[in-house]
Amino acid sequence: MHNSSLKSTAIKGIFWSAVDKFAIQFGQFIVGILLARILLPEDFGVIGMLAIFIALSQTFVESGLGTGLIQRQDRTDLDFSTVFVFNLVISCFFYALLFFSAPYISTFFNQPQLINLLRVFGLTLILNAFAVVQRTKLTIAIDFKSIAKSNVIGMIIGGVCGVAAAINGYGVWSLVIQMLLGTFSTSLSLWFLSNWVPSVSFSKKSFRSLFGYGSSLLMAGLYAQILNNTYNICLGKFYSPASLGYYTRAKSFADLSAGTIVSIVQQATFPVLTTVQNDRERLVSIYSRMIRMSAFFIIPLMTLIALLAKPIVIVLLTEKWISLIPLLQWMVFARIFLPMSAINMNLLNAVGRSDLFLKVDLSKLPLTILAMIITIPLGVKAIIIGHVITSGLSFIINAYLPGKFYGYGAIKQLKDMSSFFLAALGMAILVFTITYFVNNLILQLLLGVVFGTATYLFTCWLLKLEELKEVLQLFLSLKSKILKF
């Protein structure tokens, strides 16, 4: 693929990936606010207890095979059908496992309502499995426009039904209804838009080949899900459902911004990186620009959320969520290096080294376990402070191999980020001054966002940062594309 063609494809992919992620996150943000204003923290805590079981099962269902299809250059229709059959069979197996394990999980948490909740919520595994390959084919084609349409349809249907259920007094079931109907609508849309109908064909040879690549991602995914959700288990077991609800909401708010940037960068650039995996110079150029561009967005965004946490929580969620404020302030800083860490790890997958991906992930296990041992007995705030420390150290670990192989490690990456931290500092001083002298929370929020953003961009302009110019150029380019579409 020529440079101009690759650049055009990448820009179009980033545009529609951005439309997808921002539309979904904005929609889910609005729905989340509406549900949080109606429901109680305990309701979100109850769903949080089920998160690890659904997440682990979903990891097995996908097993890294979709990523293997994207990374492979000589994929065939038999490969796609093999993955489809595997996804469907394994999803049914894990749903049955969750169905019969529900009473034991309910007893562990001492929450009788978990039995029926898990048995219904678990159906999302089968619904997701029906569309994994369809989503993968669209990703390979860098057709994020179709993916965006499907996700938006699912978000709207699930959100409307969930809020309607909450208004009518369905309580925690509103969250299950939202996710179940949203997943069904998204999967159905992907079937119509992908123009691919699977055959009931399964090749052992194809499966062994794809699983050889995907097995490392499966292990890494299981490891990540267990660690990420162990906190949910411990908080659900030893603390109140409300405490878990505050924790999951803080995590959700922080992931709303960091997770969106990660998803856009990973989804849109992974197929591009695999295309140039054998061209070292172009690979490093794209990879380093991704790091800098991610930092350009994530550093000021997380700083702004931390500074405006009080008006954000009270204005949007009401005072019943006031205990969330200090947790959110710490959690956003625990996510500030997440996009850059994800890009470092994503590079290993793009060049076919999923084995190193797993090794790097496992190398962080002692650090995470130590943080758990120290912080879990101390409460939710201590746990999140532990996240801040481990995330910083994890970034350094994740950047080690890219630094060794491509000469762009943690030190160079942090040096490239230093200008963004400086610009964010100027923004922080102004926003802090606004919140100190302005008492009205709504005004704090509005003035903080407007003048904080303007100060950050102005400082970037004074520092003559190339990323600001690239964003402006990209904005103009995408504006013309919007008019065409």
Tell me which residue of 100, 151, 160, 159 sits closest to 128, measured CA to CA. Answer: 151
Tell me which long-range contacts 384-388 makes (C-beta under 8 A, separation of at least 24): 384/247, 384/250, 384/327, 384/330, 384/331, 384/334, 385/330, 387/330, 387/331, 387/334, 388/330, 388/333, 388/334
Tell me which residue of 342, 352, 374 sits closest to 231, measured CA to CA. Answer: 374
Q: How far apart are CA 421 and CA 429, in angstroms?
A: 12
- Residue located via tokens 């302005």: 438
Q: How far apart are CA 78 and CA 200, in angstroms?
A: 10
Sign of CA dihedral 48, 307, 451, 418: negative
Task: List the domain boundaries for the chain.
Answer: 1-239, 240-485
Q: How far apart are CA 405 and CA 280, in angstroms?
A: 10
Q: How far apart are CA 28 and CA 175, in angstroms?
A: 12
| pLDDT digits (tens), the chain, 485 positions | 445 555 555 555 566 666 666 777 788 888 988 998 899 888 888 888 888 788 888 877 776 666 667 666 677 778 788 888 888 888 999 999 999 999 999 998 888 999 999 999 999 999 988 888 888 888 777 677 788 888 889 999 999 999 999 999 999 999 999 999 999 999 999 888 877 777 777 778 777 777 766 666 677 677 677 777 777 778 888 888 888 888 888 888 887 777 667 666 665 556 666 665 566 677 777 778 888 888 898 899 999 999 999 999 999 888 888 989 999 999 988 888 888 888 877 777 666 666 677 677 777 878 888 988 898 888 888 988 998 998 889 889 888 887 787 778 888 889 989 999 999 999 999 999 999 899 999 999 999 999 999 999 999 999 888 888 877 776 666 555 545 54
Q: How far apart are CA 226 and CA 234, in angstroms?
A: 12
The three-class DSSP label of residue 2 is coil
Q: Are 164 and 32 in contact (CB under 8 A)?
A: no
Q: Are 28 and 152 in contact (CB under 8 A)?
A: no
Q: How far apart are CA 208 and CA 138, in angstroms?
A: 23
| Model pTM score | 0.71
Residue 370's H or E segment, with its range, is helix 365-375
